């Protein structure tokens, strides 16, 4: 139990140490100039592990595929909204028709009662 309690402290950082890289990135003046998209680890700028991160062709392909995915999703959502609206309109139409029928039946009943009293 004691060994298990001490083991996480070897792998985890304190809140103070964990915040250092964020504070460094926010306050270091040399990081404010130039291009963005830098990786800060342990208060140092490090290179990305993958080379395609800075590849313009990969970025362009990602942008186009993301744009196509968003377009497909928006079209599907628009169709779903239109179908939902059509169903709601149809339901509202049925309710109005039912109200008209009930109103007419009420008038007919009133007329019948009036004729029966005469």
> Residue 41 belongs to what domain range?
1-47
Rounded CA-CA distance 12/6 in Å is 11
Q: Are residues 43 and 54 both part of a single domain?
A: no
Q: Are residues 83 and 40 both part of a single domain?
A: no
At 104 the pLDDT is 95
Tell me the Cα Rg of the chain. 34
**pLDDT tier at 37 (50, 70, 90 boundaries)?**
confident
Instruction: Find the mean pLDDT for residues 13-28.
Output: 89
- Whether pLDDT at 52 is above 70: yes
Q: Are residues 25 and 75 both part of a single domain?
A: no
pTM of whole model > 0.75?
Answer: no
């Amino acid at each position: 139990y004691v060994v298990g309690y001490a083991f996480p402290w070897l792998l985890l950082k304190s809140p103070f140490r964990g915040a250092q890289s964020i504070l460094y990135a926010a306050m270091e003046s040399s990081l404010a100039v130039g291009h963005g998209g830098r990786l800060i680890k342990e208060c140092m700028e490090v290179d990305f592990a993958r080379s395609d991160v800075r590849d313009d062709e990969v970025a362009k392909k990602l942008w186009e595929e993301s744009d196509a995915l968003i377009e497909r999703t928006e079209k599907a959502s628009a169709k779903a909204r239109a179908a939902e609206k059509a169903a709601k309109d149809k339901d509202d139409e049925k309710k109005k028709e039912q109200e008209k029928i009930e109103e007419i039946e009420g008038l007919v009943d009133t007329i019948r009662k009036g004729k029966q009293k005469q």
